[in-house]
Structure formats: structure tokens, C-alpha cells
Copies of this chain bind each other. A is one copy, B any other.
């Protein structure tokens, strides 16, 4: 047994007007609760420090820089790092990253138990659009404010296992899990902010959105024999509602913990990383069963090309 006790730290809504300091105080409260419950690792959502700002259109893109962090840790986040180090707990959370040379990414980081950043991931599958879209019930401007991640899907050997990260829409793409699966990933950490209604199909409400969340996460876990921890920022942000439904999923694809609220809520589960071994050595023993000679289109073709009409 290789036990890693993980806490999925779901967060309730963050309003536009909320300060970074107020948010950090909530994150620290969750961290303290995780300490009491014996967690080794606390996983917070995507863009954990602010409201989900890509729903707001800034004609001047530079105005959106108020939502970004220039340094990590920085003035507001240092207290969170300090408390994590005191507790001897590793943390992972998402934030909007502005690099010294002016690039913008939707990023997440992973620390070890000393508070040192050991891994960084930049979101690859940016959903939404870049220009104001009057057809939508609400805007989803990730393609306006972020560049696609440029770090691939790395994994890190830390906390006694092999860990990877993904962010929100990445979880719907099987390529995300597979690239990490091919590096032996044992636990994938995912944060998300998911509007409760599809902005392009109003009838697709929270039930279907929660179904797709579970389906994508459970399939990724099963098909790569890995633990997956998926953590929401949930609830009503300035009139825009987001699903909760944070999940911890085992390497068989079974849900072992699921959030009951849309607020700040901690799910704690003691995960045996050795439980990944059965799937990885039998039905999903990639070396014996994968047939890469027939997968060529996956990396040679971006968009779908149907056969010609007769």
C-alpha cells in the first residue's frame, strides 16, 4: 500500500468584488480542516483566487490583467503557502498567470509538503471564444484572455507517486489523460469552473452538465487506471451559476467521494496508489494492447474530415 490522503477543496462562489485576501482566508480555513482530517494533499479549483472572470468582456484586453498573478507565491498567496508548509501539506490550485515577458496562461501548480512548487501546468484545451459573441446567453472568453498551454501534460514523481494536472475543459478530452497515462500517472488533479447552463444550448442545464463532468472524469480514470480528483468552484457568481459536483474517482472509474453542496466543502479520501497497478498490468497494460500503428490521425489531424459525399 502507498497511501496518499487527498482533500478535494471545493470552493463556493467568488464575487467580482471579493478581495484576494478574503479568498485566501477561505482557502486557509479549508487547509486547516484538511490538516485535522489527515490530508497529505489539498486540491483547490481552477482560477481559485478570483471570480471566473472569462465571463466578463473587456474590450481592452489589458484591463483583464487585474485578474492575473505576476508572481507565485505573491503578496496575497504567501500566507497560503506559509500555512501549508506549517501543516506539512502539499497543495495544488489554479490561477491566472502573467509571465514576466507578458504571456497569459490558465495555470495550476503543485507543491510538495515543504511548500516548494514542484510542478506547473498550463491549460491546453481552452474552451469558448476570443471575441464578444451576442448569440450566447453568457460569454466564455478563455480564448481571448489566455494562450494555450505550452508545457504539454507532464507528470511529477512526488508524494510517493506519479502525479499530473489538468484544468477544467481538459477533462473532457481523452488525450489529456492518455498522455499522462503513458507516463504512468497515478493521480490526476483537475480544477474546474463550469457554468450550469450551456451558453449555446439553454436547455442543457445543471443535471446534464454534472453528468458530463462525471462521465469524463470516470472514463479518464478507468481507461488509464489512475485516481482522479476533480474540484469545482461552484455556485452563483454575480448572477452566473456554476455546477458543483467535485469528485474523487478511483482507478476503476468508481466515485469514492462527491460534493453535496455548492459551497466551500472538503472531500477527504485515503487513496492507495498501488490500486492503480491492477488495471495498468492487465486490461490497460498499454505495452501489450495498444496499437499505435492505427492511431496516426490522432496526432496528424486536428479537425474532423468526413469522407467525401458520394
CB contacts (< 8 Å) of A198 on chain B: these are 282
Q: Are B291 and A179 in contact (CB under 8 A)?
A: no
Known A-B contacts A124-B291, A252-B208, A291-B148; the reply to A305 vs B182 at CB < 8 A is: yes
A304→B43 CA distance, assembly (Å): 25
- Encoded as 1 (CB less than 8 Å from any B CB) or 0, chain A from 177 to 198 comes to 0110111100000000000001
A289→B148 CA distance, assembly (Å): 10
A157 within 8 A of partner (CB): yes
Q: Are A289 and B125 in contact (CB under 8 A)?
A: yes
A286 within 8 A of partner (CB): yes
CB contacts (< 8 Å) of A216 on chain B: these are 219, 222-223
A56 within 8 A of partner (CB): no
CB contacts (< 8 Å) of A100 on chain B: these are none
- Select one of B157, B223, B284, B297 contacting A309, CB under 8 A: B157
Q: Are B182 and A298 in contact (CB under 8 A)?
A: yes
Known A-B contacts A182-B298, A183-B306, A301-B182; the reply to A215 vs B218 at CB < 8 A is: yes
Q: Are A298 and B175 in contact (CB under 8 A)?
A: yes
Interface residues of A in 283-310 (CB under 8 A from B): 283-292, 294-310
- Select one of B162, B169, B282, B308 contacting A200, CB under 8 A: B282
Q: Are B287 and A292 in contact (CB under 8 A)?
A: no
- Select one of B127, B212, B286, B308 contacting A303, CB under 8 A: B286
CB contacts (< 8 Å) of A162 on chain B: these are 306-307
A182→B178 CA distance, assembly (Å): 17
CB contacts (< 8 Å) of A219 on chain B: these are 174, 215-216, 218-219, 223
Known A-B contacts A184-B307, A253-B212, A282-B200; the reply to A179 vs B292 at CB < 8 A is: no
- Select one of B184, B215, B298, B305 contacting A304, CB under 8 A: B184
Interface residues of A in 157-179 (CB under 8 A from B): 157, 162, 169, 172-175, 178-179
Q: Closest residue to A310 on the B side, CB-wise?
A: B157
Q: Are A295 and B298 in contact (CB under 8 A)?
A: yes
A187 CB to closest chain B CB (Å) equals 13
A253→B215 CA distance, assembly (Å): 8
- Select one of B127, B152, B169, B223 contacting A173, CB under 8 A: B223
A284 CB to closest chain B CB (Å) equals 8
- Select one of B157, B211, B287, B289 contacting A127, CB under 8 A: B289
A-B pairs with beta carbons under 8 Å apart, 16 shown: A125-B290, A157-B306, A157-B307, A169-B289, A174-B219, A175-B290, A175-B298, A178-B297, A183-B304, A201-B282, A285-B303, A286-B302, A286-B304, A287-B302, A298-B298, A298-B299
